[in-house]
Structure 1
Amino acid sequence: MLLLVAGSAAVAGAARRAPVPAPLLLVAAGLAVSFVPGVPEVPAYVLDPHVFLPLILPPLLYTAALDSSYLGLRAALRPVALLSVGYVLFAALAVGWAAHLLVPGLPLPAALVLGAVVAPPDAVAATAVARRVGLPSRITTILQGESLVNDATAITAYRVALAAALGEGATWAGAIGEFLLAAIGGIAVGLLLMVPIHWLRTRLREALLLNTLSLLIPFVAYGLAEWVHASGVLAVVVVGLYLGHRNWQVDFATRLQEAAVWRMVAFLLESSVFALIGLQLAVLLEGLGDYEATRVAWYAVAVFLVVAVSRFVWVYPATFLPRLLSRRIREREANPGWKGPFVIAWAGMRGVVSLAIAFSIPTTTHGDGTPFPERDLLLFLTFTTVIGTLVLQGVTLPPLIRLLKLPGRDPQAETLAEANAQAQASLEAERRLEELLADERNALPPPLADRLRAVLERRRNAVWERLGTVNPVTGESVDDTYRRLARELIGAERAVFVKLRDARYIDDEMLRTLLRRLDLEEAAAHRETA
């Protein structure tokens, strides 16, 4: 496991300098390593859903929810709901029915189990690729929102299909009831937890304690929801969205530490789970000894095609039918055209959650102990579908976006909006500063008062300078030159402090205090212009 984490982090770090998204290189590396002689198999418990889902999925969902826009998701609620609920159920039925017709002797309930397993696009894959290729903001919001919620739909559909496959008498009424219980219960648990957790976060002032609490939040929300047989996924998402939306009310030290901690956690988990996908190939091939290679390959291609085509079949009607049926939608929302829905349809990468759910398929039925129908084949088809969507769709998505010439983010417009916002905030801060200085209780020497005014002026001008011309000699903007010079000055001070420590003029404790002060100044200089 240590080698898995270390190797995954190394490949992911190298992928940042490669033109290919990191998830694809991680999967490829895992595939290659799985065939190296002497490499131990990944323990079966790693992808055991009783281990993976409670320990790996909550922090990944929580980090994605913290980085998501509550207001953006609320504005895109209709397309997100149609994809995260409607599409998942449609894909499960489409894939299940196709597998039932395709594989001789595969009962329909067992085929629907496969459909539910491969139905949900993966939160990690969607977020990672969307960040890398720079999708338009609305498309990114829709994909992130879909991937946050669809796991709950897929897990519920899987449980219903599995109950039918095991002969436990699943009914449509029972299925709908279980889905409503999972959805409403998960949202209720999230609503119940989010306010007291936020209250606690705003009352505590110890950053270390608050970050410890932050690491526990997704596990508490997920575990409590699952304990009452509700959706842990939805509970984590609700809490994460609420806390992310109100994160500005938390102490600044907590925000700085929390952002760094969760970036590290997300990096390690994302890297490891994609490598795990590749490492499973050798294990799955061992279970296919009795199957003809060409026939199994045909099954894999056919299931992948059904997964890919069914998304197009769903996305376009789900995009344009509401516009045709509702005049209010036509008036409030711009026509999305055909390009945006095409990218959304093509961006349905599957991930390790599908594999984890697939590995929970029992080996035997509960009734008479007979083997579960075609279990090894279902696991293999899940794996090939995940690999196919990650490799084919993930590799072609960036050139597809460039080919379609989708309007991405406008850096100039965003910088202008940022500058205007900063100008308004600085003017209000200057008004408040003069108001405070007029009170004799806040009297300051003129140099210190002028320093406060200079800080506000610098902060206001920094963003406007980003819109200015570049240095004809270095090619840097004024903003970049300021940041570079600030680093040079801080570096010179840092070197002097170290020399004084080495000469024993100051001790290590004082050195750490001085260096922390410089670190904060360097971070402030960087953030002013980042």
Structure 2
Amino acid sequence: MEIGELLLILAGSLAVSAFARWRGWPAPLLVVAVALGVSFIPGVPSVELDPEVVLTVILPPLLFSAALDVSFQNFTQSLRQIRRLGVGLVVVTAVAVGLIAYWLVPALTLPGALLLGAVVAPPDAVSASSIGRKLGLPRRVMTVLSGESLINDAASLTLFKVFVAVIGGSMFNVGGVLWMFVVAIVVGLAVGLVIGLVVQFIRTRITDSVVGTTLGLLVPFAAYAAGEALNGSGVLAVVAAGLYLGYNSPKTGYQTRLQEQPVWGSIDLLLEGFVFALIGLQVSGVVASVAQSPLGLWHSVALAAVVFVVVLLVRPLFIFAAYYRSRSKLLSITAREPHRFSLRRLPGIRRLKHHPGPELSWQELTVISWTGMRGVVTLASAAAVPTMMVSGDFEGRETIILVAFVVTVGTLLLQGLTLPWVIRRLGVIDDAQPERDGEQEVRIFELSVRETKDYIDQHRDEWAKRYGDANLDRSIAVLKRQFERQVTVLLEENNLDQQDIDAPDIDTGDAEKPRLSGPELTELRRELIGYRRSIVLRQRNAGELDEEVMRSVLRGLDAEELALDTSTVTRNRS
């Protein structure tokens, strides 16, 4: 791909994404549709997808950014459901598609047909997440979808490697496949956690937010490369590093948090638009190449149609059967042994109980079943299918690529366009979630104000020696009055009464006393913000505060500290 073509695709996909966001439409779907139409315009050059670039340059930052945003707290609570979909469903889909494809087109060979199954197995939740978030899907459903998308790529790529090796002449055995899975998981997780620990150690000890943010940008590429180099899963390494750093991000400097959020948002917008543009732009070229392949266009199209139907059917069948079977079994186990499962403690991660996960209704399971849109990993895997096998040319390569494109584009357009209707029709919308979050935010703010008031009283004598009695008392009164005003504003915004949260009655003190100087008051305020932040983290770690709400509260505290620093800089300049 020439640099001019690259810039044109980036600019075009960004323009379409911007228009979709402005209109409130799912940007990935519109980008695919526009690119699909452009690909059939006469004179438009064919665009080739480099699988190495996709897997090493595009996929890692997208996965890492998604892992940063996932609530580790909710992720662990839904781990069984996530693992069942991210690994079990991928394997079942790959085997089902492979066996049916081999039965219909024996020329593919069994390893080639299973390779096709591995290619089309992993869903991509980018478009589903954007639709679900906009329509207000329950948080437990969003957690399952996001978690599945983080680990299913690792399972499918591991299967892909296995069947590529078989096509290349390696012997297939179940024990070898299982061992490869174990190595990929263990090494990938270990590499990701080590990199996360090292980066977290560095970022908590530097004050330069530009350096901290830049270091974070390098993490997904380093994690993926190291994981793959050590025969592990680069995808799991990226996910593990992202989850660890996301969970511990409140312990880094506030400037780094404020700075990296818009940076990752911009990267996501650019890369997602680029990937979905590539999906649409390649369709015409793929059709032309398949028409000249040994299997022919119509045989390949027929196979693609059958695989498309199989992919649509396998997901709901597996989800409903596995969920109800697992739910009844796990509830029986946990009733007898409620503390049987727990996660090992890692540095920076509190011990969290591992339970069957939140209960899902049949309507929620139906929505999850209809979010099987395929994406970048399916296309990158298809493009990486080898041209040779042990017995000579691999004649099914073009057919596999066509099937991958049909499944990807078909699921994006069919499921993506109808998913909003399915969600509304089944009523899988949690309109009360913002209200619950608001109430929880007010409660944690009230708790932090109450405990900060006690903290002030406990440290008053210590501060008096540092600042002087008279000046300190007036400043304490001002700070307490500001806390009270903030509580009042939050109560009004969330339509709550004072008694709903038992907000403290804060004494504002004598307003006529002298105040501390600007730098002294700034120092005192920064200490109190740090204490309030520690209260928020304590409640999160104890499981008393939802991680999504914690991030909202921390953004408010970060903004307060940024305002302090900004006013200090302004005073110094003047």
Question: TM-score, normalising length from structure 2?
Answer: 0.78
* Secondary structure at the counterpart of residue 203 of structure 1: coil
Tell me the distance in 2 between the aligned counterparts of 1:81 and 1:228. 23
CA–CA distance in structure 2, aligned partners of residues 334 and 360 of structure 1: 38
Query: How much does 1:282 deviate?
Result: 1.7
Q: Tell me, yes or no, if structure 1 residue 310 matches structure 2 residue 333.
A: no
1:422 aligns to 2:424 (yes or no): no
Query: What does residue 408 of structure 1 align with?
Result: 430
Q: Which structure 2 residue ranges, 5 or more long, are not aligned? A: 1-5, 336-355, 497-558, 567-574
**Are 1:323 and 1:330, in contact at CA under 8 Å, matched by a contact in 2?**
no
Distance 2:279 2:373 in 1: 13
Residues 351-370 of structure 1 aligned to structure 2 (within 5 Å): 351-365=375-389, 367=390, 370=392
Check whether the contact 1:21–1:132 (CA below 8 A) recurs between aligned residues: no
Residue in 2 that maps onto 1:215: 217
Match of 1:68 in 2: 70
Amino acid at match of 2:492: E
Aligned-pair CA distance for 1:461: 2.4
For 2:23, give the aligned amino acid: A
Whether the aligned pair in 1 keeps the contact of 2:68 and 2:242 (CA below 8 Å) is yes
What is the match of residue 442 of structure 1? Answer: 467
Q: Distance in 2 between matches of 1:334 and 1:225?
A: 32
TM superposition shift of 1:292: 5.7
SS at match of 1:200: helix
What is residue 201 of structure 2 aligned with on the other side? 199
Q: 2:360 aligns with which of 327, 332, 336?
A: 336
Find the partner of 1:25 among 30, 39, 43: 30
| Alpha-carbon distance, 1:518 to partner | 12
Q: Does 1:432 align with 2:455?
A: yes
Alpha-carbon contact 1:364-1:371 (below 8 Å) kept? yes
Contact 1:112–1:161, Cα closer than 8 Å, also in 2:
yes
2:39 counterpart (34, 48, 52): 34
Query: How far apart, CA to CA, are the structure 2 residues paired with 1:53 and 1:379?
Result: 16
Letter in 2 for 1:20: W
Give 1:299 shift. Answer: 2.2
The amino acid across from 1:24 in the alignment is L
The answer to whether the 8 Å contact 1:20/1:395 transfers is no
Q: Tell me which amino acid in the other structure corresponds to 1:27.
A: V
> Following the alignment from structure 2 to structure 1, what is the Cα–Cα distance between the partners of residues 143 and 239?
14
**Which residue matches 1:462?**
489
For residues 236 and 487 of structure 2, the distance between their equivalents in structure 1, rounded to whole angstroms, comes to: 40
Partner SS, residue 207 of structure 2: coil
- Aligned partner letter, 1:456: F
Partner of 2:339: none
Identity %: 40
Counterparts of 1:244-255 in structure 2, within 5 Å, are 244-255=246-257
Deviation string 1:277-316 (CA, Å, 9 cap, x unpaired) is: 1111122012022466554433222111100101112111
Change (3 A) 1:151 1:422: same
Is residue 186–residue 230 contact of structure 1 (8 Å, CA) maintained in 2?
yes
Asked whether the 8 Å contact 1:96–1:113 carries over to 2, the reply is yes
- In structure 2, relative to structure 1, the CA distance for the partners of 1:334 and 1:191 (3 Å cut) is closer
2:323 maps to a residue whose letter is: T
Question: How far apart in 2 are the matches of 1:465 and 1:12?
Answer: 36
For residues 164-203 of structure 1, what are the alpha-carbon distances to aligned partners after superposition, in whole Å with 9 as ceiling and x for unaligned? Answer: 2233222222111111111111011122222221111100
Whether the 8 Å contact between 1:430 and 1:456 is mirrored in structure 2 is no
How many Å apart are 1:425 and its aligned residue? 1.1
One-letter code of the match for 2:490?
A: V
Output the amino acid matched with 1:413.
R
Q: 1:299 aligns with which of 272, 286, 303?
A: 303
Amino acid at match of 1:337: S
- Choose which of 53, 56, 59 in structure 2 pairs with 1:54: 56
What CA deviation, in whole Å up to 9, does each residue of 1:8-67 have, x standing for no partner? 11111111133531110010111122123333332x3xx322221111111111100000
Partner SS state of residue 37, structure 1: coil
**AA matched with 1:192:** V
Query: Could you tell me the TM-score, scaled by structure 1's length?
Result: 0.84
- Residues 26 and 330 of structure 1: is their aligned pair in 2 closer, same or farther, counting only changes over 3 Å? farther
Alignment of 1:131-210 (within 5 A): 131-210=133-212
Q: Is the 8 A contact 2:96 2:117 kept in 1?
A: yes
Residue 382, structure 1, aligned to residue 409, structure 2: no
Instruction: Check whether the contact 1:97–1:108 (CA below 8 A) recurs between aligned residues.
Output: yes
1:350, distance to aligned residue in structure 2 (A):
0.6
State the distance in 1 between where 2:16 and 2:46 align: 19
- CA change 1:263–1:220 in 2 (3 A) is same
Write the deviation string for residues 211-258 of structure 1: whole angstroms up to 9, x where unpaired. 110111111111111111110111111111111111110111111001
Distance 1:420 1:18, change over 3 A: same
Task: Between 191-200 and 241-250, report the one with greater CA deviation.
Answer: 191-200
Could you tell me which residue of structure 1 aligns to residue 107 of structure 2?
Answer: 105
The code of the aligned residue for 1:17 comes to W
The alpha-carbon deviation at position 155 of structure 1 amounts to 0.6
Structure 1 contact 79–318 (Cα < 8 Å) conserved:
no
Correspondence list, 1:79-118, <5 A:
79-118=81-120
Unaligned regions of 5+ residues in structure 1, if any?
A: 470-516, 525-530
Listed as ranges, the matches of 1:481-520 within 5 Å are none
Relative to structure 1, the CA distance from residue 164 to residue 249 in structure 2 (aligned partners, 3 Å threshold; closer, same or farther) is: same
Contact preservation (8 Å) 2:98, 2:113: yes
Contact kept, 8 Å, 2:287 with 2:297, in 1: the verdict is no
Say if 1:11 and 1:453 are closer, same or farther in 2 by CA, change over 3 A: same
Q: 2:280 aligns with which of 259, 267, 278?
A: 278
CA contact (8 A) 2:164 2:386 kept: no
Q: What amino acid is the match of 1:336? A: L
1:371 to partner: Cα distance:
2.0
Aligned with residue 393 of structure 1, among 409, 415, 421: 415
Note closer, same or farther for the CA distance 1:380–1:418 as it changes in structure 2 (3 Å cut).
same
Which one-letter code corresponds to 2:19 in the other structure? A
**Alignment counterpart, residue 5 of structure 1, candidates 5, 10, 20:** 10
Q: 1:345 matched to which residue of 2? A: 369
CA RMSD of aligned residues (A): 2.4
Number of matched pairs: 472
Contact 1:35-1:282 within 8 A present in 2 as well: yes
In the TM superposition, what is the alpha-carbon distance from 1:389 to its structure 2 partner? 0.9
2:505 corresponds in structure 1 to: none
